[in-house]
Amino acid sequence: MTAVTDSPGHTESTPYLLIRLASTVDQLFADTARTHGLTAQQAHLICRLVGGPVQMAALGRQLGLEKSGLSGLVDRVERHGLVERVRDSCDRRMWWVRLTGQGQKTAHATHEEVMAGLEALTADLGPAEADLLKAVLERLLTDAPGDAAR
Amino acid sequence: MTAVTDSPGHTESTPYLLIRLASTVDQLFADTARTHGLTAQQAHLICRLVGGPVQMAALGRQLGLEKSGLSGLVDRVERHGLVERVRDSCDRRMWWVRLTGQGQKTAHATHEEVMAGLEALTADLGPAEADLLKAVLERLLTDAPGDAAR
DNA sequence: TATTGTTATACTCTATAACTATA
DNA sequence: TATAGTTATAGAGTATAACAATA
């Protein structure tokens, strides 16, 4: 997603550049996911699990999904053999989602490829410019809304 | 979309910041579209038409859609009363997609709101920082792939 | 009764392939 | 025969509401 109206190309305003940047990032992520036979959402899911199992409710919050939507997404990734559901031993209503062995490999590979692609994007910048970009992005996103989700 | 693993927040690398920025932009666009009863894709479509009617084939290219996908998308937006198909008078195989009166209003409003949201995002930056951000973004995107589409 | 997940529905989006109508 | 669009089909993503199991 993301395009609105890129039109010409000569004197693009910052808003348009931001839209194009978002588009580029999204595309990189989708392409990388597809390399591993996954959709972008499925790749997001498994990348969230590299730090260890996560409870369904927490996962839904992180991904900005309704519980029913998450249920289906986990189903599909489970069908790929990348994750499994584990019931919580204390509260039997809760389930944890955990990467399988294959899921770990895929998640790590996907994560690395996305990071490499993004680093390649900024590779041309000199050290000063790179630092500046980082600082400005940090400022932009410090109190930007809509990040916890999605 | 876009998240991978935002984890902490303290020392985020530039790649993570780029992912979060993309997420923010996407979210702004989706939210704005929903305000007008549209999906993000539908909003993209009508925003592409503010400059005048566009031929189906060209529209598909701009939006990165297969012709069948575009056909359905135009159907849905047409059902909202925002666009209409006009047959080309010379080559009767071709169709142009045109905003209706209501479509113009919605398209302009959506476009303005997205732009305003993006400008708000960078409003805190000083003029020097803003110029630098623009320059860096231009460099990043000059030869970045995957922009013509999507 | 409140909470965690799943199921049932209903759309939207997207891709591939087959088809229609023009050229 | 080649091109512009549509239709058919199928899977994925997302939201709402009703439901089951557990607390």
Please report whether residue A116 resides in a domain.
yes
Question: Exposed e or buried b for every residue in A92-112, given b needs 16+ CB within 10 A?
Answer: eeebbbebbeebbebbeebbe
Burial class (CB in 10 A: 0-12, 13-18, 19+), B1: buried
In contact, A42 and A29? CB cutoff 8 Å: no
Substitution target in B6, B11, B18 with the highest count of A β-carbons within 10 Å is B18
Please report whether residue A93 resides in a domain.
yes
Residue type at position B7:
S
Decide if pLDDT at B40 tops 90: yes
Closest partner residue to B5 (CB to CB) among A20, A24, A111 is A111
Chain A within 8 Å of B140 (Cβ-Cβ)? yes
Domain count, chain A: 1
B73 touches strand C (CB under 7 A): yes
Per-residue pLDDT at A76: 98
Is B2 within 8 Å of A26 when comparing Cβ atoms? yes
Mean pLDDT for B1-25 is 72
Secondary element (H or E) of residue A55:
strand A54-55
The dihedral over CA atoms of A36, A41, A44, A45, expressed in degrees to the nearest 10, equals -100
Per-residue pLDDT at A4: 52
Question: Exposed e or buried b for every residue in B9-27, given b needs 16+ CB within 10 A?
Answer: eeebebbbbbbbbbbbbbb
Chain A within 8 Å of B48 (Cβ-Cβ)? yes
Question: What gap in Å lies between CA B80 and CA B90, rounded to an integer?
Answer: 28
Decide if pLDDT at B147 tops 60: no
Decide if pLDDT at B3 tops 50: no
Please report whether residue B34 resides in a domain.
yes
The nucleotide minimizing the C1' distance to residue A69's CA is D14
- Which residue is nearest to the C1' sugar atom of C20, using CA? B93
Range of the domain at A101: 14-141
Chain A within 8 Å of B55 (Cβ-Cβ)? no
Mean pLDDT for B10-33 is 88
Please report whether residue A124 resides in a domain.
yes
Please report whether residue A146 resides in a domain.
no
Question: What gap in Å lies between CA B42 and CA B116, rounded to an integer?
Answer: 19
Which residues, in sequence order, are CB contacts of A137 under 8 Å at separation 6+? B14, B17, B18, B21
Q: 3-state class of B139 per DSSP?
A: helix
Could you tell me how far CA B111 lies from the centroid of its own chain?
9
A4-14 per-position pLDDT tens digit: 544 444 568 99
Please report whether residue B8 resides in a domain.
no
B115-129 per-position pLDDT tens digit: 999 999 999 888 988
Average pLDDT, chain B: 88
CATH number of B127's domain: 1.10.10.10
> How many Å apart are A129 CA and C12 C1'?
41
Q: How many residues does chain A have?
A: 150
pTM, entire model = 0.86
Q: Mean pLDDT for each 10-residue chunk of chain A (150 residues)?
A: 48 88 91 94 96 97 95 98 97 98 97 94 89 89 55
B72-111 per-position pLDDT tens digit: 999 999 999 999 999 999 999 999 999 999 999 999 999 9
Please report whether residue B94 resides in a domain.
yes
Chain B within 8 Å of A109 (Cβ-Cβ)? no
Please report whether residue B4 resides in a domain.
no
A118-140 per-position pLDDT tens digit: 999 999 888 988 988 999 899 88
Q: How far is A92 from chain B (nearest CA, A)?
A: 27
**Torsional class of B96: left (φ above 0), alpha (ψ -120 to 50), beta (otherwise):** beta
Strands B95-99 and B54-55: antiparallel
Mean pLDDT for B24-43 is 93
